[in-house]
Structure 1
C-alpha cells in the first residue's frame, strides 16, 4: 500500500499544474486492484444470473437484498431511482468487475444511492457508484449521497469507487444515535459536488488508504469534512490515515466544531481526531479547523486533534484556523506553522 500511495502522489504532482481535472481514463492509475479472496462469500451467495437490463433496476436489486444476506450483484450497469437501495443486518454485498450503480437523473435534492441505515454487521466490497451530478434536473439541494450511513454499527466499506455525486461520496451521520465502528478502506472518490466524505457523528470511525479529489460545486467543497450538526453528535476516536486529497475547491480535510455547544455548564464534549500521513495537493487549504466563530456560544470542548506526518507543501495554502473559542480542545502537531496559528487564533 505504501508504494501505491507513492505512485499516486507522483502522478498527481505531475498532473496538478497541467490540468484541473483527472481524466476518466486515468482513474485506474489510482486504484488498488482489490486483491481480496471473496470465494467463501461467493459460494454462499445469491447471484443474479437472471438479470435483464431495464431502465430502472431498483426493485429487482432490492428484492435480491431482501432474499439473502450475501449478494453478488449483476456484472453490468444497474440503474437506481430516488428510492435507493437498502442493506440489512449481517449483509455482505459484492460488486463484480463491471458492476456499476448509476443514479437515474432526478430533481430531488436529497437521497442515498446505497443506504446503510440503522443496521449492524455489514460488509460492502468493491462498490462502484456513479451519481447524477452531470444529469441532475435542477439546482436544488446538496444531499444526494453515494453511500449514506446512518445510526449503524460494525460497517466495513472496502475499495469503493464513487464519482459524480450530487452531494457527498459517503455520508456518516444520523439522528437516533451515533455510528460505531465504521471502517472505510481504499476508497477512491472523485468529482463529488459537496464533500468527498462527511463525518457528522461517530465513534471509532476509520478512513484509511484513500484518495479524494476534485470536490467542487456546493460548499463545503472539501475532501473530508468532519462537522457535527448538534451537540448530541459524537466525534470519538476518528482516524484518517494514509489519505491523499487533491484539487478540492476548499479544504483537503475540514473540521468544523461550532455546533458542539451546550447551555449546560457540566456538559463537556470530548473530541478525539487523529489525522496521520495526510497529503494534500492543489486544494485551497490542506487543513481547516473552525470552532465557535462567533466567540459567543458556550462551546465546551475537551480532547485532542492530532496531526501526524502531514504534508501540505503543494496545497494552495497550508492551513486555515478561524478565530475560535476552542476551550479545552488541544491541537497536537509538529508543524510549527500550524501550531503557532492555532495558538494565535484560539481565544
Structure 2
C-alpha cells in the first residue's frame, strides 16, 4: 500500500488550484478574520453537487502562503472530485505546514464517484496538520471502476504532528485513515506523532485504519467497525510494505498506542486473511517473519473479532477484552485481559 509514488511538486499542486480571489469588504461589513480562510471565498458552494476541490485547495494555499492558518468550512456538503494525474488520483493536497481544517458538526467532505483506484480525498504532506469536526464520506458504493483499493479518506505521508479528532470517516474505496510514506525503501521519513481521538471510522472498503510507516501513533476513544469489500478488510492493520518479507529498519512501525477504543470486525477471520479486528502482520511470516512493528500497546480496549500478532515485537495488552481468537505468534505480554481464545504458536 503505497501512496504518492508520483509525488506532486509544490508548483504542480499550485497549478491545480484556482487563484486566491482578492476581497475588499464594503463599509460596515466585517472582513475575514486573520489567518482564517474559507472555501466560499474562492467559489465553493455547499450542497450544490459541484466539486469544491479547487476552492478548498485555494484556501489551503492562501493559508500556506501566510505561514499557516485555519481552513474553515460551513455546514453542509462540500464535494471533492478526484483529479487524474498520470493514473494516480489527487483530491485535496495539503502540502503546507501549520494548516488546520475546522469543520462544523454537520460538514461533510464528500468524494464524488471516480474510476481511479489510488488517491486520498485529503492528502496530508505538511507538518502540524489538524482536522476536526464533521465527516468524510467516500465513494465506496458509487465508485465507477473495479481496479485498486487505495482510495483513502485521509492519507498522511512523510510528515509529523498530525491530529485527527471528532470525525466520522466512512465508506471510502480504500482505507479510512492511511499512515505511511511515498516510498517503500525507507528513503523518506514516514509519518510521526499522529493523534487520532474521538473518531468513528467505519465501513471502509480495505481497512478502517492502516499503519504502514509511522512512529508515535495514538488511537484514543475511537469506534472502529465494519471494514469490508477488499482484502484484508481489517479494523486496524499494522503492516509496512515489504520486499519478500524484508522491511527497511526505518520503515518498522514504532511506539503505537491504542486505548479506550472499540474495534469490531465485520465477520470472523477467514483463512485468506480477511476480517481481523486488529492485525500486526508481515505477510511472509511463514518463511521470512521480520519484525514490522515495535512497542505496540493496547489498553482498555473492547474488541469483537479476531486479533493477530504475527510480526510485532514488544506488544502489550492491558485491561482489554477480545471476543474472538487471538493468534499470538510473538509472545505478547497480556495483563488483566479477557480473551475468548488465546492461540499461541
TM-score of the superposed pair, with normalisation by structure 1: 0.73
Show the 5 A alignment for 1:137-148: 137-148=144-155
Q: Distance in 1 between matches of 2:281 and 2:293?
A: 14
**CA 1:269 to 1:244, structure 2 compared with 1: closer, same or farther past 3 Å?**
closer
> What SS class does the counterpart of residue 60 from structure 2 fall into?
helix
**2:273 is equivalent to residue 273 of structure 1:** no
Residue 107 of structure 1 deviates from its aligned partner by: 0.9
Q: Determine helix, strand or coil for the equivalent of 1:157.
A: strand
1:112-147 deviation digits (Å, cap 9, x = unpaired) = 001112x21111111410000010112211111000
- Given the alignment of the two structures, is residue 341 of structure 1 paired with residue 332 of structure 2, yes or no? no
Match of 2:253 in 1: 235
User: Which residue of 227, 246, 253 corresponds with 2:264?
Assistant: 246
The equivalent residue for 1:195 is 207
Q: Is the 8 A contact 2:239 2:282 kept in 1?
A: yes
SS in structure 1 of the partner of residue 57 of structure 2 = helix
The C-alpha deviation readout for 1:259-292, integer Å capped at 9, x for no partner, is 69999xxx987711001111123x3x1x22223x
Question: How far apart are 1:341 and its partner, in Å?
Answer: 2.8
Q: Which residue of 169, 190, 198 corresponds with 1:178?
A: 190
| Shift in CA distance, 268/135, structure 1 to aligned 2, threshold 3 Å | closer
1:98 Cα deviation (Å)?
Answer: 2.5
Matches within 5 A, 1:127-138: 127-138=134-145
Please show how residues 1-347 of structure 1 align to structure 2 within 5 Å. Answer: 44-50=35-41, 51-52=44-45, 53=48, 55-68=50-63, 69-82=69-82, 83-87=90-94, 88-117=96-125, 119-174=126-181, 175=183, 176-230=188-242, 231-232=247-248, 233-249=251-267, 250-258=275-283, 271-281=294-304, 283=305, 285=306, 287-291=307-311, 303-312=313-322, 315=323, 317-321=324-328, 326=330, 330-335=332-337, 341-342=343-344, 345=345
For residues 60-96 of structure 1, the C-alpha deviation after alignment (integer angstroms, 9 at most, x for no partner) is 1111111112110232211111221122201111012
- On the 8 A contact 1:103/1:132 being kept in 2, the answer is yes
Question: Is contact 2:210–2:239 with CA below 8 Å preserved after alignment?
Answer: yes
Q: SS at the partner of 2:59?
A: helix
Q: Normalising to structure 2: TM-score of the pair? A: 0.73
Say which SS state the counterpart of residue 222 (structure 1) adopts.
coil
> Which residue pairs with 2:29 in the alignment?
none
Number of corresponding residues: 278
Name the SS of the counterpart of 2:128 in structure 1.
strand
Q: Which has the higher helix share?
A: 1
Say if 1:200 and 1:227, in contact at 8 Å, map to a contact too. yes
- Mean Cα displacement is larger for which, 329-338 or 186-195? 329-338
Question: What's the C-alpha RMSD, in Å, of the aligned pairs?
Answer: 2.7
Unaligned runs of 5+ in 1: 1-41, 292-300
- Provide the rounded CA distance (Å) in 1 between the counterparts of 2:266 and 2:136: 20
CA shift in 2, pair 1:270/1:75, >3 Å = closer
Flag the 1:223–1:47 CA change in 2: closer, same or farther, 3 A.
Answer: same
Q: In structure 1, what is the equivalent of residue 28 of structure 2?
A: none
Return the offset for 1:320.
2.4
Please say if residues 228 and 259 of structure 1, whose CA atoms lie closer than 8 Å, have aligned partners that are also in contact: no
